[in-house]
Copies of this chain bind each other. A is one copy, B any other.
Amino acid sequence: MVFLRIIGYNNVLKHMNADHRLSVPQQGKSRIPELKKGDVFLMIKKNRMIGTAVCALITAMTLTACVQVNVNTAEAAAADRESVNQVSLLQGLTFGDYNGSRSAGEVKSMGDIGIGTFDALNGELIMLDGVIYRAAGDGSVEAVDDSETIPFCDVTWFDSDESETITDIQDIASLKEVLDKKVSELGTNRFYFIRIDGKFKEMNVRSELAQTEPYKPLAKVLETDQTFFDYSDIDGTVVGLYCPDYMDRLNAVGWHFHFISDDREKGGHMLDLKFDSGELKWDYTDGFSMILPENEMFSDFDLTVDQSEDIRRVETGDGE
């Protein structure tokens, strides 16, 4: 029976806000038990220059600093993962605020799957299994540096709540039909992330060319600077987000999909697709968090203007 256990700091981090979960390279072997109500913790902070032996000595000298945790932190950690975490509003992007406000490194602390775009509208963002990729306007795909900045994205920690094989999807409309049927059963007022892994007979994506300041509104940019790529018999993953109807002024209502190929060489904002069979996984999410950018461009927008038609054109790739 183990009464005393060392746990790594990243176990604490599991219980932190997704916004603040931190990259913690682990040194040495560490046992990571679950936290339980009533557990007592002691945490020692030391200067990195000091050896572990001194650490132990001081620990013994100052053990009266123990504090008691009176809650079920495991529950808190579970809730933490059930949130769609958004940088800015899609409506800020639609107005032309392409100024990256959060780094890719920060966004990685908010989730491991997601969709969005990059500073200067430099390509479509697809996050999958914790890696952030850019599907650029020239059709190329790359994993971005943590210093790359992001003006808009939605990410979450993907926990598969349900999975199923879906078959005979002829186009994006029939995919949405399958997904919407499920949403109407699960509740239309919640958020959902999905991923579909499979071989796609047809995959139609778009990206866009990086912009230079002063930035034009998104619908205007897409009239001239969209690029389209059509692939066939391509293995990859579709990442999708569903937002409830009441989100119509903070994001796009309904489904929004991005795609990336298994070889990580092709991808973009998905406009259409066709496939015989794919593995669909659902992550039901009951929370939503948003971080607003601090730049003046965002502050000065008149977001009372109805942008629904612009949003529709942006989503469908209708540049006309």
Residue of B nearest to A28 (CB): B64
Partner of A6, one of B28, B33, B43: B43
Chain A residues in the interface with B (C-beta under 8 A): 3-12, 15-20, 22-31, 33, 35, 38-50, 52-56, 58-60, 62-71, 73, 76-77, 79-80, 83, 89, 91, 186-190, 244-250, 286-292, 294, 298-301, 303-304
**Cβ of A67 and Cβ of B10 under 8 Å apart?**
yes
Number of this chain's copies in the assembly equals 2
Cα distance A20–B311 in the bound complex, in angstroms: 34
Inter-chain contacts of A25 with B (CB < 8 A): 67-68, 70
Cα distance A19–B19 in the bound complex, in angstroms: 12
CB contact under 8 A between A300 and B47, given known A7-B65, A56-B63, A70-B24:
no
Inter-chain contacts of A83 with B (CB < 8 A): 289
Inter-chain contacts of A249 with B (CB < 8 A): 245-249
Min CB distance A170 to B, Å, is 28
Cα distance A68–B31 in the bound complex, in angstroms: 15
Inter-chain contacts of A5 with B (CB < 8 A): 44-46
Cα distance A288–B50 in the bound complex, in angstroms: 40
Inter-chain contacts of A288 with B (CB < 8 A): 289-290, 292
Residue of B nearest to A18 (CB): B17
